[in-house]
Amino acid sequence: MGRLHRVVLRKFPTSRCVNRYSTATLSSSARMMSLNARNRISLMLTAFVVGCFIFGQASHTAEKDVSYSKFQIWRITPRTKDENSNFFRAIQSYETEIWKDITTGTNTEYTFLVPPQIQTEIKRKFNVANVSYVVEISDLQTAINEENPVTANNNSWFLNSTFDNNKTAHRMDWTSYHRLDDIYGYLDYLADTYPKIVQLINIGASYENRTLYVVHISHPSSIPDTKPAIWIDAGVHAREWISPALATYIIHQLVEDPANEGLLLSADWYIMPVMNPDGYEYSHVKNRLWRKSRSETGSRKCRGVDLNRNFGFQWGDRGSYADPCAISFRGIKAFSEPESIATSNFILKKSNLIKLYLTLHSFGQAVLIPWGHSATLPSDYGDMLALAKSATSTFQHYKFKVGNVAALFYRASGNSADWAKSIGIKYCYTVELPAKGFILPASNILPVSQDFFSALDVFAAEVATLHV
Ligand code: 0X9
Ligand code: ZN
């Protein structure tokens, strides 16, 4: 899944964009030639059109909002090797962006973005080659517009007034996606209202100087730094909005529902709801499908580092890119980014206590187990697999796959879960939450969150048995 690869469309008329992205195009095309043993073609390309669109418009012409009008999301699961080859042959002369490839057994499902200009021609090629596909989203901009309906809480000065006047009010709910101010306002509210349970820790600042917060949640009776701890981070990738929404739901449940006291007795919790606040805001105001951070790179025209390729374990290896215009740009060195270094420094200080590392992403409905940098498995892979299977078996609304990231998805060097495993954290997972092409109507926040929250009982019970 989640191949963030571009395919450059050479058929497109020459424009400023062609020249601007020709280097990325060539290197991507070269990568496209290498097939792996399972015939899962390593299509490491970013669409010329999409590249132009996402990198050009979104990063270079930052003042202009990006529209995805008439862009479509297609899904295909080739049934045979021939169909698989026909699919790649049909799209390889274009440049489209494959967002996900998820492998189950011998089948791989590809989800990809199809810009309007190439839809007719790709359709014709698929028909000729007998490749069947499903149009999952027929107009991406419409799906974006309908994703997060305006409510009193996410678009007004309305503050939740059911609370004591002496306390800070907040605008948070889990029926809409919220801007960073609302999320941070809620964290302030919690720290103010529940000082015996919640400690809001400022661990540094983002590239654009937004505060990076970790919420420490512990039982009032806990003696500091004596219990096994659980770390959860979210919002690493800007466009994966369900991730901070779930993280704040977890915070809400742990802090505000006394029925969850047992979870605080089992473990201490460190939750970072938005690791990439600059990208998150950018995805709200400029480009809904922005993924990276917003730091300036060596390239004048392309901004942002993929924070999930910037962590310092096997940094720079397969599945990460040196090209600042690539969607999985790894940065100029490991931990080059203020967001990843602040996070890792904090985790290192607590690494003897943290027994479970969860990083929330979307999409794909999968719990991914290291390693992502190589196809080998950690020696205790079996323990991680068993715990994740048992935790996700509780889900009522969504079915999740569990497995090694390189097998279910693709290689991803410098990802945070690999790094967490490398520093000795016992259970490390990347969670890919549900969405369709990164878009998930806000009405799904609660069902996703309720499912996932139920898994925490299983995770916390295991963590509680481990020595610190
Ligand atoms: O590519 C990524 O960074 C993740 N997928 S996403 O679509 N959310 O961008 C997957 C990362 C893989 N995780 C591990 N290797 N543990
Ligand atoms: Zn992600």
The model's confidence at residue 159, banded by pLDDT at 50, 70 and 90, is: low
The model's confidence at residue 450, banded by pLDDT at 50, 70 and 90, is: very high
Distance between CA 240 and CA 242 in Å, rounded? 6
Let me know if 83 is a catalytic residue: no
Question: Which residue is closest in CA terms to ligand 1's atom 9?
Answer: 2
Shortest-distance ligand to the CA of residue 235: 2
Shortest-distance ligand to the CA of residue 306: 1
**216-225: Cβ within 8 A, 24+ apart:** 216/268, 216/269, 216/270, 217/251, 217/254, 217/255, 217/264, 217/268, 217/269, 217/270, 217/271, 218/264, 218/268, 218/269, 219/261, 219/264, 219/265, 220/196, 222/264, 222/268, 225/268, 225/350, 225/353
Which structure tokens are listed for 406?
């390189």
pLDDT the model gives residue 19:
22
Question: Which residue is closest in CA terms to ligand 1's atom 7?
Answer: 2
Across 218-308, the runs of DSSP E, i.e. the strands, are: 229-233, 268-272
DSSP state of 439: B
Which structure tokens are listed for 289?
């499908």
Q: Exposure string (b/e) for 150-187, b if CB count within 10 Å is 16 or more?
A: eeebbeeeeebeeeeeeebbbbbbbebbbebebbbbbb
Tell me, in angstroms, the distance from the centre of ligand 1 to residue 336's CA: 19
pLDDT the model gives residue 161:
46
Tell me, in angstroms, the distance from the centre of ligand 2 to residue 347's CA: 19
Tell me, in angstroms, the distance from the centre of ligand 1 to residue 169's CA: 35
pLDDT reading at 88 higher than 80: yes
Per-residue pLDDT of 195-250, as tens digits, reads 999 999 999 999 999 999 999 999 999 999 999 999 999 999 999 999 999 999 99
DSSP state of 223: P
Task: Confirm if 48 and 92 have CB atoms less than 8 A apart.
Answer: no
Residue to probe by mutation, ligand 1, list 362, 368, 419, 421, most atoms within 8 Å of CB: 368
pLDDT the model gives residue 437:
87
Which structure tokens are listed for 110?
């590809």
pLDDT the model gives residue 89:
84
pLDDT reading at 309 higher than 60: yes
The listed range with the strongest mean pLDDT (12-21, 145-154, 457-466) is 457-466
Shortest-distance ligand to the CA of residue 430: 1
DSSP state of 220: T
Mean pLDDT over all residues of the chain?
A: 85
pLDDT the model gives residue 56:
33
Tell me, in angstroms, the distance from the centre of ligand 2 to residue 240's CA: 6
A 10 A CB-CB count for 363 gives: 24
pLDDT the model gives residue 165:
53
- Range with lowest mean pLDDT among 95-99, 135-139, 204-208, 334-338: 95-99
Is the dihedral angle over the CA atoms 248, 249, 253, 256 positive or is it negative?
positive
Cis peptide preceding 371, ω within 30 of 0 = yes
Atom of ligand 1 nearest to the CA of 412: 15
pLDDT reading at 33 higher than 80: no
Q: From the CB of 182, is ligand 1 less than 6 Å away?
A: no
Atom of ligand 1 nearest to the CA of 361: 8
* DSSP letters for 314-375: STTSTT-BS-TTSTTB--SSTT-SHHHHHHHHHHHHTTTTEEEEEEEEESSSEEEES-SSSS
Distance between CA 237 and CA 339 in Å, rounded? 12
pLDDT above 90: percentage of residues in the chain: 71
Which residue is catalytic, options 95, 240, 432, 462?
432
pLDDT the model gives residue 40:
36
pLDDT reading at 322 higher than 70: yes
The model's confidence at residue 24, banded by pLDDT at 50, 70 and 90, is: very low
DSSP state of 443: G
pLDDT the model gives residue 6:
45
pLDDT reading at 153 higher than 90: no
Q: From the CB of 237, is ligand 1 less than 6 Å away?
A: yes
Q: From the CB of 370, is ligand 1 less than 6 Å away?
A: yes
- Calculate mean pLDDT across residues 17-43: 27
pLDDT the model gives residue 155:
60
Distance between CA 287 and CA 300 in Å, rounded? 19
